[in-house]
Amino acid sequence: MTVARARRPRRKRRRWPLYLLVAAGIAVVFLAGVGLGQALHDNPGTSGTQTLVRTLHPLPLVPVARNTVTVTVTKP
């Protein structure tokens, strides 16, 4: 013989503390990311490259010898 038990109604759980905790966690992660981004932006590092710009002027040319050369070609 089985005896039927009366089921008592379930209590409704309040979910707002869970939502509040999740929202606070998301806010903490977001603020930590913003802080890290600002820290990296303020100090980009010391191993950067340096660019130097110089204007190069041409060297003076050596004067060409003023000899006249004549080339004669004969046909075979």
pTM over 0.85, yes/no: no
Per-residue pLDDT tens digits for 10-67: 777 788 889 999 999 999 999 999 999 998 888 766 666 788 999 999 999 888 778 8
Q: What is the DSSP string of 12-47?
A: PPP-HHHHHHHHHHHHHHHHHHHHHHHHHHH---S-
Please give the structure tokens belonging to residue 18: 């869970």
